[in-house]
Amino acid sequence: MKALSIRQPWAWLIVHGYKDVENRTWSTKFRGRVQVHAGKFPDPGWFPQLAQEVETRGIGLPDQPILGALVGEVDIVDCVSQWDSPWFIGPYGFLLANPLAYPQPIPYRGRLGLFETELPAAG
């Protein structure tokens, strides 16, 4: 199954159904289910407008987010260069649907881009 590494807290927001788009500097033609890998290091800086979105929605992020593990799954349903979402900052956005958070994270080493895992989908 394919996977995509995403830094925390974004990986958590995606698998829990809050964030519906993943911003990238590259586009993809891939459509389908992917495992969400929480990167080894958290995002060192929050974009101010995204931090405000989390606060406005009253989202309670975990104090100690999981790092270096597969944390869930999501469907990539499209790739766009414009999107009306407070989460979209571009230049490309992978539109996401059907999130699933794993009850237990699976320690796993991430990679750049979409990468293959030997683990089957759970959802």
| Whether this model's pTM surpasses 0.75 | yes
pLDDT of 121 higher than 80: no
Q: How far is CA 31 from the centre of its chain?
A: 15
Q: In what helix (H) or strand (E) does residue 80 lie, and over which residues does it extend?
A: strand 69-80
pLDDT band at 123 (very low <50, low <70, confident <90, very high): low
Superfamily of domain 2-116 in CATH is Hypothetical protein. (2.30.130.30)
pLDDT of 50 higher than 70: no
Domain boundaries in the chain?
2-116
CB 67 within 8 A of CB 41: yes
pLDDT at 24: 96
Report residue 56: phi and psi, to 5°. -60, -40
Residue range 57-93, pLDDT digits in tens? 888 878 788 999 999 999 999 999 999 998 899 999 9
